[in-house]
Structure 1
C-alpha cells in the first residue's frame, strides 16, 4: 500500500471513530446505521487496494464531514440547553433549601410564641402597676423585642404602610400613657379582668416596622402591640383582613413539593434534550443513509454532491 492510500485510510479511520462517538452520544438509529455503513465503505477500500482510494476521500469530504459537523453543532446546541436546565434545577434546589430552613425555624417560632406571649403578659402586668402606683419604673421585661427581630423576616405577614397607619391610629383621650408606653384604657381594664392571660396570634410587618397581634384566651378579643411606640390598642379581625397571609407553612410545603416535582421533570427532560435531533434532520439523514446504502453508491459518488450540499446547508438552518 502506497503512502497516499495509507494516509487516506488513516484519516478515514479517524473520521469513522468520530462518527462512532457521535452515534453513541445520540443513541439515534439512523446515526448508528450511517456509522456502520461508513465503516463498511472504509473496510471495502482497506481490503481492496485496487479500488481508487480517492473515492473514499471524496466520500468523506462530501458526506461524512458534513454529517459530523452537523451532529456536533446539534450536540453543542443541546448541551447549551441542558446547561440552562441544570441552572434552573440548581436555583430550584437553593429555593427548596431555604424553604426547608424556614420550616425548621418554624418549630422554634411556634415554641417562641408562647414565651413571647408570657413576656408581653408580664410587661402589661408591670405596666398596670406602674400606672396605678404612678412610679417611673420601666415595665417591659428583658428582650421583649428579640422575638420579632429573629422571626419577623420569615414569619410575620406583610401589610401596607396605610394599613399599619390605620391600625395604630387612636384617640388620645381613650388611652393611658406614660414615658414608656401607651395603652387603650378599656384594653387595660379587660387585661385586669382576665388576669393578663393572652396568647400571641401572629405578627405583621410593613418595611422595618412591625406589629404583634395578641388574643385574649377567655374572650377571643384581639389587641395589638406596636413596639416602635410601645403602643397597645384593640383591633378586630376585620381590621386585619388586608394582611397578606400567603407564605404560611402549608404554602411553603406546597412550594417545596411543586419545585421538587418540577426538578424531577427537568432532570428527565434534560436527558432527552441532550440527545435530541430535530425531526427534519432525522429525515434528511435517513435519505442520505438510503443513498450510501445503495449498492451502486460508489459508482454514483460523483453525483452525491447535491445531497452533500443539502447537509452543509443544514449547518446554517433554523431547524437546529
Structure 2
C-alpha cells in the first residue's frame, strides 16, 4: 500500500474518535515520524487523551497515561527495584515510561525533580534506575499536556525541557457543525469509545521513521532554516532565541511533513507551516514584552514575513 494511502486510512480511523482536527492529527504523525515529542496546551475536555490513545490503537502501539501531581515521584515514572520475598532479592519494576506512547497529563503539576525524570528519556531514549541504564521501547514518544488556565499549584516547565519537545500545539474548540457531529457520534454508539482498527504496525512505523531520514533537504532550505532561527535571536522583544536544537527540530519536522504528503524533498511551504508550532515555544520573551502583550507565536510570524523565501528548490 502506498504511504500516502496508508496515512489517509490512519486519519480515517482516528477521525472515528476525533472530529475535525486533521491539522492536529497530522502534526502528531509528523512528531512521531520525526522521532520527536509533542506538547499540547489546551483546556480540559478537548480530547487530548483520546487523541493520544486513538493514535496508539491505530498504530498498534502500547499506550500509557500518567497523571502528573505534586506528590508524583521520579520512580513513579521510571520504576525501580523492589524487594521480592519469593525470590529473596530485589527485582526491577518497570514504570509507565517503558511504553511506546506516554501521555504525561498536566505535566506542569509535578515538581521539577519529577519533570526532569523525563529529560533523559526524551533526549537519550533511555532511563537510569539505581545506576543501571535501560533502553526504552521503539518507537517512543511523549505527549505532554498543559492546562493554560489553572496556574495555581503548578511548576512552569524549564526552558531545557521545553526545548526537547519537537512541537507545541493547541486543539482548539470545535466548530458548530463539528460539535454537533461529536454529539451525533455519541448518540449513535453505545460505548464511550469508538473501535479503532489497526492501520500500521510497529515495525512499519520504524521503517517509516527511517524513510523520513532519506527526504532531500536542499542547501537553500538549510539556509532558510538558519536565517529563520537567527532572526529570532535578534528580536528586541526576546531574551533567548531559538537554539541550534530548534533549527534541527524544524528540519526534522519538515522532512516528516514532506514525506507524509508524498514528496521526497522539502519545500519552503513545509517550513512556513511548521515554524510556529516548532519554534514559538522555544522563545523566552523579555518580561516587558510579555507585559505589553507580545506572544511568541506572533513574533515567529513576524520573522516569517521578513525572511526571504528561497525561490528555487531542487528535488
TM-score (norm 2): 0.21
More strand by share: 2
